[in-house]
Amino acid sequence: MTAKHEIRKSIIASIWFMFLTFPIMVIKVNTVTNTIEWRWYNMALVGIGIFFLSMLWRYLLKKKEEGGKKEKKAGLSLIQRLLQEKQFALPGMVIIAVITIIFPHIFSMYQTNIMISALIFVMLGLGLNIVIGLAGLLVLGYAAFFAVGAYAYALLNLHYGVGFWIALPIGGILAALFGILLGYPVLRLRGDYLAIVTLGFGEIIRLVLENWNEFSFGPSGIKNIPKPGFFGIELSMQATTIYIFYIVVLLVVFTIFVINRLKNSRIGRAWTALKDDEIASQAMGIDKAKTKLRAFALGSTWAGMAGVVFAAKTTFINPASFTLWESVIILCTVVLGGMGSIAGVIAGALLLILLPEYMRDFGEFRMITFGAVLILMMIFRPGGMIEDVRKTYKFEK
């Protein structure tokens, strides 16, 4: 396609936009004097702006097409290459570890608290990544399992005085049970259908929590959930925050460890096989339902554990923390970061949680920015920020 052609298309686009925005951008009715103000300069601005945006858009698309042709294989990004290089792995990990360890000591409690929230979402993202990235199941109502964990701790503590460390595995197991209960009938559904059913499930859990007052205290939620205990010693406010920070970091590390182990195992291979070809997988003796259910249960377990941590951190929970919006954010961290890629999901979660925190003024445009970013990602980087490069097994004699 020639440059002339591109320019013509862009001109058409700008004319179209001028026409579309004419009523709001150009006409202004002055209701006091009952006159109409014609702001033609606005039209010119729209026209010129759209023309250049359109040209830029076309240029990027073209570049992407060329890039795709040229370097299909060599197109690993800098980060991907860094992740694969053995000699950078150890120093990199040491640096990250040092930063995480000193983080709560050099930054304020406020920052540490924000970081804890972000890390909880890292956990959630990694958990959902098991389901979506490894097993290829699109689950939308993931916040429901998060809620199960949080309420498990809150209610067990309220009624039976169960502490954090006992509630942590219980919350995980309960969420896994819910996952299995839901998964058993619906996992035979594929793609979009599964997504819709899990979406419905998420809403059901939220509605139950909101309306079953005797059980969950409705919208007013549960207060005074204790923070994690430290061998029976009373910790100061600040010390508790730091303590929770380290707990979350440990849980994230544990999550990464587990996912890595799973990826390179018989189960992980079965998930990859099922993603590639269900019929062939079954013909190889893989139990489709059971294998998918395992991914589902594991993913839910992590949401449940993250829920327990969340309840302990905020000391107050109500259904408003577990809406569809939370599910969407978690899903976005996975999609944006890179499905299946651990580094990608971590980067995605940190970005999506930290950015809005530090750009509060930007808050109103959050939805629009999210949407725009996702669409741009789909077009220019469908694999996510840090695309997953599946490590294939290399045979050594």
Partner 1 sequence: MSVRHISLRSDNMKPILEVKNMTMDFGGLRAIDSVDLSIEKGQIVALIGPNGAGKTTFFNCITGIYTPTSGDIYISPNGESDKQERINGLKPNIVTRKGLARTFQNIRLFTSMTVLENVMIGCHAVTKVGIMGAIFRGIKTKTEERFIVEKSYSILEKIGLAKYVDELAVNLPYGAQRRLEIARALATNPFLLLLDEPAAGMNPQETMELDELILRIRNTEGISILLIEHDMKLVMSLSEKIYVVDYGRKIAEGTPEEIRHNSVVIKAYLGEEIGEECDA
Asked if 256 interacts with partner 1 (CB under 8 A), we say no
Q: How many residues bind partner 1 (CB under 8 A)?
A: 31
What mask, x for binding partner 1 by CB under 8 A, covers residues 362 to 391?
Answer: ----------------------------x-
The DSSP code sequence of 32-90 is: TTTEEEE-HHHHHHHHHHHHHHHHHHHHHHHHHHHHHHH-SSS---HHHHHHH-HHHHH
User: Taking the complex as a whole, how short is the minimal distance between the CB of residue 89 and partner 1, in angstroms?
Assistant: 19
Stretch that binds partner 1, among 81-89, 189-197, 270-278, 373-381 (CB under 8 A): 270-278
User: Taking the complex as a whole, how short is the minimal distance between the CB of residue 97 and partner 1, in angstroms?
Assistant: 22
Which of 301, 309, 353 minimizes the C-alpha distance to 174? 301
Residue written as token pair 């309220």: 158
> Which of 279, 361, 364, 368 lies at the binding interface for partner 1 (CB under 8 A)?
279
Asked if 62 interacts with partner 1 (CB under 8 A), we say no
> Which of 118, 194, 225, 298 lies at the binding interface for partner 1 (CB under 8 A)?
298
What mask, x for binding partner 1 by CB under 8 A, covers residues 211 to 230?
Answer: --------------------
CA dihedral over 43, 44, 47, 50, signed as positive or negative: negative
What is the Cα–Cα distance from 204 to 194, expressed in whole angstroms?
Answer: 15
Asked if 266 interacts with partner 1 (CB under 8 A), we say yes
What is the Cα–Cα distance from 333 to 341, expressed in whole angstroms?
Answer: 11
Element (H, E) at 271: helix 266-276
**Residue (196 or 262) nearer to partner 1, CB:** 262
> Which of 294, 334, 336, 386 lies at the binding interface for partner 1 (CB under 8 A)?
294
Asked if 65 interacts with partner 1 (CB under 8 A), we say no
Number of neighbours of residue 78 by Cβ within 10 angstroms? 7
Asked if 287 interacts with partner 1 (CB under 8 A), we say yes
Number of neighbours of residue 34 by Cβ within 10 angstroms? 7
Number of neighbours of residue 174 by Cβ within 10 angstroms? 23
Binding site for partner 1 (CB under 8 A): 258, 261-262, 265-270, 272-273, 275-277, 279-288, 294, 298, 390, 392-395
